[in-house]
Chains A and B, each alone.
Chain A
Amino acid sequence: MIVAEQKPLEAIRQMIAPYHRVLILGCGTCMTVCDAGGEREVSFLHSSLRLIQAKSGEEPHIFSEYILKRQCDPEFIDLLVDKVSDVDAILSLGCGIGVQAIAERFTDMPVLPGVNTSFMGMAKEWGVWDERCAACGDCRLEDTAGICPITRCTKGILNGPCAGAKNGKCEASKDMECAWILIYKRLERLQQLEKMRRYYPPRNFRAVPRPRRLVKKVSVGAGESDG
């Protein structure tokens, strides 16, 4: 799941300052789950924005709220068409993908990011999320006992641990587990310690062309039959 954090109120205020009528647009999927842009956060932000403009006495914006089930799919975005006719800007509480998807659909509409998309991760417990995947496109978790060194090692090294590991913790932070120690321990449990002996050549980051596109559908030419 994508995890994000709402931007500071001041940043949001500055962003929306030039626009009179602003639609606060929530997202009903990842942003709801990570408490950054679901219906509750949309109305809390709405309330906060109204409060701050009441306090500052500046010319009031006109806010509206709407929640899309998912901002990253064109069919859902279609539902927005009649909601945006009378707004000057959309403040999207979707992740970076949502913001771009909305911007792509409404070519003349400024779309502002209300959250900082942080990482792909999982819930540790109520209100705590941890990063787990960097979407490198070259998954090697089978060799590292299901623990990703790219995300969980501060250095992202493929052949660890480095010399900074101390008592199983990372030198960068005493609270952070060393990913490679975790990998070692888990390989030991799985009786696959021989995997530690392998050398992983450095990854060629330049080989990953961005932006990536995934095509699942098969191209079927006109007039062609299954034969």
Chain B
Amino acid sequence: MYPSTAKDANRYQPNEVTKLSFDHSLVPPCQAACPLHMEIREYIDLVAQGRIMEALQVIRDGNPFPSICAYVCTHPCEDACRRSQVDKSVAIRALKRFAVEFGGDRRVRAEAETTHSDRVAIVGSGPAGMACAYYLRKLGYPVTVFEAHSGVGGMLRVGIPQYRLPREVLNTEVQRLMQMGVEIRTNTRVVSLDLLSDMGYKAIFITIGAHQSLRMGIEGEDGPGVIDGATFLREVNLGLKPSLGKKVAVVGGGNVAVDAARTALRLGAHKVSILYRRSRTEMPADPVEIEQALEEGIDIRFLVAPVKLNRRNGQLSISCIKMELGEPDATGRRQPMPIKGSEFNRQVDVLITAIGQAPQTPSDFRLRIGRGSTIHVDPVTLTTNRVGVFAGGDAVTGPATVTEALASGRLAAFRIDDYLQHRYPRVDKEMRAHLAGDLLPETIEMIRKIGRLEPPILPPESRMEDFKAVESVYDWSTAVNEARRCLRCGMGAEIVSQDKCATCLNCIRVCPYHVPRLDVNGAVQIPVEQCLACGICVAECPAKAIILRKPYDQRQVTDELRHILNSAEKSKFRPFIVGFCCQYGLFGTGTLANLWREAKAGIWIVPVLCVAKVEAEHMLYPFEMGAEGVFIAGCGEQCARENTALWISQRIGKVRKMLVQIGLEPERIRGFMLSSTNKDIAQDLDKFVEQITRLYLTSTIVEEVKS
């Protein structure tokens, strides 16, 4: 494991198994659910260690506009998160926002060089268009974005209210695109694709979104006092202040309906209600948004549908009917059925309709239109019926999420690149297997329950004054503690080979979660969907036959230790003490950083990803390299994993026994475990350092006397 101090050691290294150098981890459910397939588990882990810049790096690798997603992503990852089987899912989106803001995403410069001459036109500057422009620029193409409105961003600018996505965030991203050399032409509506081809654009990406509101199809819909949600939001977002009166009703149950209602409230409407024909369970809007809308005093009427609009003396009133839920329809939602004789009238000043939107593709584009007015494309290549014309985003899918649009834009960029380079489109193949299967009840039972920590939000009273962002960002320690709840799915332990395994059953005996088990053939199996990667079995396997599926986790302690000892060798400070400190949790929030800063000269800290991964051999090695003392600082009772402190004491015991045999004092090694209360370990550490100093002085004197 380590280089010998003896010269010319003819060492055999049984650990040099090629398997160690591969990432064997499975794709976790969060990543599989993300339209962009972001490496969520990785960046959450980095946040848990307080390594925010690196977390941001991982986020930026997978997402062109992370700060936008940090505000408005609908986080399908959280719905897939397996932590919800234990308590509640990890707050992934909020953690991303933390990483983006604390990591300094604003200051990241995006640069791109032009390496191709083929120009690409992008029609529409929404998330799909922006993402496509971003990736095409990265690939080296000159890109022009055409935008019909005065502001760039599509639905991000004209659809999403400012309290959900502050415009500075969007502006920063747009500026970054321009920095990369993307040409953006606002107030330019494209009317003909032929014209674009004539202008020399070799490929065109159509991403015009879905801005056309669907009609309710009821009497009186076309008249004063009625406005559709998309138009309403667009007007407000472009700086107009439509007069609303006092009473506003919104029809619909999606995010646009909720956005419109909350916007109306912020514009000064006194009484805002939402009419939705199904019940809350079926409501497609984000549950958090619904919750916040209710907090702000918006009255949501479930199981109500408008049937007619009446106008008398300039006063608008809606005839509504009550509904009940019938059989589930094709989408699985229960179909609302009107209750006869339940009609009632509702007086409003303005009615906002938000029952859905569809794309509106100019017929001059001569594109094949499919279901729901969407543009028909090949799902793999995103090509339309016209050569060199690609389409994506809401224009193809119908109203969808920002993240889906970004994914579509990214895909389009790669496919356009294939097209311009005359390559057969290379279909992405996911090489790594996906994690499948739920946690077993016996595993769940053993997992420490830690409640989900939400980022602070503004109280409802102060939200309504203006359009400031409702949600704030985590503070450092809350973020780290929230990130620590991640179960690290799919990166657990695996047996290198059944041949190496002595079937000693130690792993079965030491696992706090009862994960390893014997199969019918008597071989040990560690089901990856149950393992939580605590690493205890890895360090306790007498045959060293167990590894973690992430090579970094496997090598980390050894690598860090070697690195630290190399630097320590050059330093002359005495006594020389090596400390293994957990990088998660409290240590990740800064205790570790404080130890670094305040540490007396001569104390060298090896950051470890949970002390459970520190093996007895790791603890002994520093002594060989001349260390006078070794300590292990773990999270103890605050650890997100079980039994770590217990196994560390076992290993310390083993090392102490050996130290005595070697002729060293057993006090030279100690474990510091945090108690459940936030206790400062600095004092204990000081005492330990004092003790080691004394031992060091005594031994130096003894040696001198001897000589």
Contacts and interface: CB of A to CB of B under 8 A. Distances in A.
B438 interface: no
B502 A63 contact: no
Contacts of B11: 63-65
B543 interface: yes
A193 to B, nearest CB: 35
A154 interface: no
Given A9-B661, A65-B14, A83-B12, A51 B623 contact: yes
A86 B543 contact: no
Contacts of B695: none
Contacts of B623: 51
Contact of A33 (B10, B13, B542, B617): B542
Contacts of B307: none
Interface string B623-651: 11010000000000000000000000000
Given A47-B621, A50-B5, A29 B10 contact: no
B544 interface: yes
Interface residues of B, number: 40
A15 B302 CA distance: 86
Contacts of B621: 47
Interface in A125-156: 125-126
B64 to A, nearest CB: 47
A38 B620 contact: no
A56 B706 CA distance: 13
B1 A38 contact: no
A56 B506 CA distance: 35
Given A8-B661, A60-B5, A63-B6, A38 B510 contact: no
A47 B617 contact: yes
Given A41-B542, A51-B624, A63-B4, A9 B658 contact: yes
A35 interface: yes
Contacts of A29: 502
A65 B8 contact: no
A62 interface: yes
Given A44-B616, A64-B10, A66-B12, A33 B504 contact: yes
B247 to A, nearest CB: 71
A43 B664 contact: no
A32 interface: yes
Contacts of B662: 9, 48, 51-52, 55
B663 interface: yes
Q: Interface residues of B: mostly helix, strand, loop or mixed?
A: loop
B663 A52 contact: yes
A123 B624 contact: no
A94 to B, nearest CB: 13
B702 interface: no
A203 interface: no
A218 B677 CA distance: 72
B644 to A, nearest CB: 16
Interface in B639-697: 654, 658, 661-664
Given A32-B504, A62-B6, A67 B14 contact: yes
A192 B10 CA distance: 62
B509 A126 contact: yes
B705 interface: no
B469 interface: no
Contacts of A60: 5-7
B620 to A, nearest CB: 5
A50 B544 contact: no
A95 to B, nearest CB: 14
Contacts of A28: 500, 502, 543
A123 B14 CA distance: 27
A40 interface: yes
B9 interface: yes
A169 interface: no
Contacts of B626: 54
A62 to B, nearest CB: 5
Given A63-B9, A125-B509, A39 B543 contact: yes
A9 B662 CA distance: 7
A61 B616 CA distance: 22
Contacts of A224: none
B541 interface: yes
B543 A43 contact: no
Nearest to A35: B542
A10 B661 CA distance: 7
Given A38-B502, A63-B11, A66-B14, A51 B620 contact: yes
B8 A62 contact: yes
A64 B9 contact: yes
B664 A55 contact: yes
Contacts, number: 108
Given A28-B502, A51-B623, A123-B505, A62 B10 contact: yes
A10 B663 CA distance: 10
B552 interface: no
B506 A126 contact: yes
Nearest to B506: A126
Contacts of A48: 620, 658, 661-662
B344 interface: no
B542 A50 contact: no
A35 B509 CA distance: 14
A53 B9 CA distance: 14
B596 interface: no
Interface in B462-500: 499-500
A125 B508 CA distance: 11
Nearest to B503: A33
Nearest to B661: A9
Contacts of B510: 126
Interface in B507-543: 509-510, 541-543
B573 interface: no
Contacts of B6: 50, 53, 60-63
A86 B542 contact: no
Interface in B359-396: none
B543 A40 contact: yes
A60 B617 CA distance: 20
B624 A39 contact: no
A50 B7 CA distance: 12
A50 B543 contact: no
B108 to A, nearest CB: 44
Interface in A1-40: 8-10, 21, 28-29, 32-33, 35, 38-40
Interface in A173-225: none
A35 B542 CA distance: 6
Contacts of B506: 35, 126
A47 B1 CA distance: 9
A49 B663 CA distance: 12
A126 B507 CA distance: 10
Nearest to B499: A69
A227 B63 CA distance: 79
A43 B621 CA distance: 11
Given A21-B10, A48-B620, A62-B9, A32 B661 contact: no
Nearest to A20: B6
Given A40-B544, A41-B542, A52-B663, A47 B624 contact: yes
Contacts of B509: 125-126
Given A48-B620, A50-B4, 5 more contacts: A9-B662, A39-B14, A54-B626, A64-B11, A125-B509
23 contacts: A9-B661, A9-B662, A32-B542, A33-B504, A38-B544, A40-B541, A40-B542, A40-B543, A40-B544, A44-B620, A44-B654, A47-B620, A48-B658, A50-B6, A51-B620, A51-B623, A52-B662, A52-B663, A62-B6, A65-B13, A66-B14, A86-B10, A126-B509
Interface of A: 8-10, 21, 28-29, 32-33, 35, 38-41, 43-44, 47-48, 50-56, 60-67, 69, 83, 86-87, 123, 125-126
Interface of B: 1-2, 4-14, 499-500, 502-506, 509-510, 541-544, 615-617, 620-621, 623-624, 626, 654, 658, 661-664
Closest 9 CB pairs of A and B: A38-B542, A33-B504, A9-B661, A32-B502, A126-B509, A51-B624, A60-B6, A39-B544, A52-B662
